[in-house]
Amino acid sequence: MLAWILLSLGVLLVIACAVVAVWFKRRAPEPTKSPAQLWTETDRYYYAEDLPERGLTPEEDRRPLLVLGAMAVVAVIALAAGATLMLRTADDKPTATAASTPSASPPPPGSRITAGRSGLCLAAEYSGDGAPVTLRTCQATAVQQWEPAGDGTIRLGTRCMDVAGAETKLGTIIQLAECNGNAAQLFRFENGKLISGLNGNCVDARSGRVAAGVGAVIQRCAAVGDRTWEQLS
């Protein structure tokens, strides 16, 4: 802000110097005589044109030059100071570099679990307790990042894949739940099958229909057929 003020002041002073210089150049001494004006001196009359014109003294001749010089000096100082401040401000601004440019957030840790080569992955509908697990188009989103843990659980963030209500009934949905060490939260991969530690049954798409939006349920492994699950990074 100060840089712009100084630059503006300098420009205005330069313009003022030019105006004043032109004005002084065109200014001429105005004669004080007039044919109609009479001057008296010891009872004698003179026409004004007979009197000598009064010129400027040397001091008065130098006065305009001093004013112009002072204005010019102030203008130069203001312009120089404004330009210096502007350059300094530009140097202080951070430059955009690869280190300072925010990059896209890396995908959360874990793996996607895809239904064969269908391009569909197991995904929690949301990240809270009781969120059903369904098939969705595979994406690097947090609700598809499953991480098999050393204790036999498959985790998504701080929660675990879970057979709802620890039910052994076929068709029971797969959901998210707080990790609690229950057998309903134990799963293992075996020959392309995702087997529940609750009763040895397998995770499958409901009614065997591999399509987006279809929920994951518990089914007999024999009924799963050639439908397999694969882990993708």
Taking the CA atoms of 115, 118, 120 and 121 in sequence, report the sign of the dihedral they define. Answer: positive
* CA 133 – CA 145 distance, rounded (Å): 12
Residue with the bigger pLDDT between 42 and 13: it is 13
- The b/e string for 172-196 (b: 16+ C-beta within 10 A; e otherwise) is bbbbbbebeebebbbbeeeeebbbb
- For the segment 178-190, the average pLDDT, to the nearest whole number, is 94
pTM of the model: 0.54
pLDDT digits (tens, 9 = 90+) for 30-42: 544 444 444 444 4
High-pLDDT (> 70) share of the chain, % = 65
Residue 11: other Cβ atoms inside 10 A: 14
How far, in Å, are 32, 40, 53 from residue 45 at the CA level?
16, 5, 17
What is the average pLDDT score of the chain? 77
**Spatial CA neighbour of 138 closest among 232, 229, 207:** 232
